[in-house]
């Protein structure tokens, strides 16, 4: 798909020519980067599974790099006693001053809720965590987890419901991820030193192997290749905002389901919260 529209993002950045929309055949879109011995595998092109046992975890990354757009992935998380495990799904650039946009799903004891951990890194600095309880059991069926990333803001959504917005606050000195293209990564790994109740609950390896499943990947996003980015038809995506209904849903989730917000952690920031926390 192509458009004659040309959008110049900045003098130092890339010329965006057309928007690329891909819907996965995982064989074409992703590479297994850890666990290629069978811990990570693609089934019939449309299902990706990552497995963790005591010898190894697994991970994959997209072949494409993206600079702005909307990324959707459906995940079904590790069922049962998944304490100590972390299933991650995130965007990340390369280099020492990397950018990153994180979904991490912290395993639980059977019957306890999963914790959805989110974070945003820019120029190698994160420490912007927000955590949520999901309002459904994410192990029973697939649910859609989305990242909308444009020059104005980053919006994390679950099944179309926004749960977090991180706004561009460069005007008050807050770095924002906008200059580095990022690949999509997913992994399943053992983090029982911190993942469940701060590391108090360890991984029960008798429950292994642990498996998370992925399907219906879609990137409505700008693909970067040879220093140039392709974008265009969905130009509205580059300035998409939350309408009134979605703003109300965001407030509902943050009121009912948020369990940690770095912008409320006065013990962590005794000298005052980071400047973006004061933005409306």
* Chain position carrying tokens 């099944």: 159
Nearest to 197 by CA among 80, 132, 128, 115: 115
Sign of CA dihedral 275, 133, 158, 49: positive
The candidate with the shortest Cα–Cα distance to 158, out of 249, 30, 91, is: 249
Q: Give the contacts of 186 (CB within 8 A, at least 6 positions apart).
A: 48, 50, 59, 60, 61, 73, 87, 88, 89, 90, 214
Distance between CA atoms of 219 and 29, rounded to whole angstroms?
10
Looking at 29, 100, 165, 276, which residue is catalytic? 100
Instruction: Clarify whether 100 is annotated catalytic.
Output: yes
Q: Rounded CA gap, 11 and 19, in Å?
A: 20
The residue annotated as part of the active site, out of 104, 240, 241, 276, is 104
Nearest to 46 by CA among 136, 142, 111: 142
Q: Tokens standing for 82? A: 């998944």
Angle, CA of 86, 262 and 163, to the nearest 5°:
65
Q: Which residue is it, tokens 């990242």? A: 147
CA distances from 105 to 69, 85, 88, 190 (A): 22, 8, 6, 12
Catalytic residues: 100, 104
């Amino acid at each position: 798909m192509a458009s004659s529209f040309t959008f110049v993002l900045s003098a130092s950045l890339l010329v965006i020519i057309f928007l690329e929309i891909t819907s996965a055949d995982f064989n074409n879109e992703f590479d297994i980067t850890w666990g290629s011995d069978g811990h990570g595998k693609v089934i019939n092109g449309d299902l990706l599974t990552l497995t963790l046992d005591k010898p190894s975890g697994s991970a994959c990354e997209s072949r494409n790099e993206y600079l702005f757009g909307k990324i959707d992935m459906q995940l079904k998380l590790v069922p049962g006693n998944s304490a100590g495990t972390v299933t991650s799904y995130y965007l990340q650039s390369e280099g020492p001053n990397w950018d990153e946009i994180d979904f991490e799903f912290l395993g639980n004891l059977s019957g306890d809720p999963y914790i959805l951990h989110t974070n945003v890194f820019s120029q190698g600095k994160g420490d912007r965590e927000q955590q949520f309880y999901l309002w459904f059991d994410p192990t029973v069926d697939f649910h859609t987890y989305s990242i909308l990333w444009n020059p104005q803001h980053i919006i994390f959504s679950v099944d179309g419901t926004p749960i977090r917005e991180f706004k561009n606050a460069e005007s008050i000195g807050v770095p924002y991820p906008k200059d580095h293209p990022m690949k999509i990564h997913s992994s399943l790994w053992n983090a029982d030193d911190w993942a469940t109740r701060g590391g108090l609950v360890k991984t029960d390896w008798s429950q292994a192997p642990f498996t998370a499943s992925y399907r219906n990947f879609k990137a409505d996003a700008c693909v970067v290749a040879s220093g140039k980015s392709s974008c265009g038809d969905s130009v509205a995506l580059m300035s998409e905002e939350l309408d009134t209904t979605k703003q109300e849903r965001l407030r509902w989730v943050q009121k009912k389901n948020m369990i940690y917000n770095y912008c409320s952690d006065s013990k962590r920031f005794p000298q005052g919260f980071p400047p973006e926390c004061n933005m409306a």
